[in-house]
Amino acid sequence: MSTTSTAKTRSGPHLVLLAVYAIFALAAGARSLVQVFTRFDEAPVAYTLSVVAAATYVAGWFAIRRAANGSAGFAKVMLWIELAGVVVVGALSLAVPSWFPDASVWSRFGSGYGFVPALLPILGLLWLWRGRPEGDRSADESVDSHRNLA
């Protein structure tokens, strides 16, 4: 990877993503730990899923940071896992509301947090896709051109 593509990958949007991931890791982590240790029996599914969401935000922060330094593989996996979590938990919270007598971070697709939990992995994936070095983009095009030659 050349220094130019690395510089392009380190562009400003990842700093905003890192800040939001840090805030969500702290907020979701603190909230879920208080809930688990003080009233776990009231909503065990929701509170457990909030702990999972907090751990995902911590892992997402590290993944975005690594991707900014040119190693995007972990970020791709983490962001897709996070998005799947938001979609599954969001759908379950609507389909089986008895599991969510109290909201989790991802219940109702993160509506309690202004839908930021649903948007965050999408924005991260868009950043990864747009920040790909030119070599990665041309690899997609070269596959197509090889198919046309055959």
pLDDT on residue 25? 95
Burial group, residue 112, by CB count within 10 angstroms (0-12, 13-18, 19+): middle
> Residue-wise pLDDT tens for the chain (150 aa)?
444 444 444 557 889 999 999 999 999 999 999 999 999 999 999 899 999 999 999 999 999 999 998 889 999 999 999 999 999 999 999 999 998 898 888 999 999 899 999 999 999 999 998 876 544 544 444 444 444 555
Q: What's the confidence (pLDDT) of residue 148? A: 52
pTM of the entire predicted model: 0.78
Cα of 146 vs its chain's centroid, Å: 34
Tell me how far apart the terminal alpha carbons of the chain are, to the nearest angstrom: 29
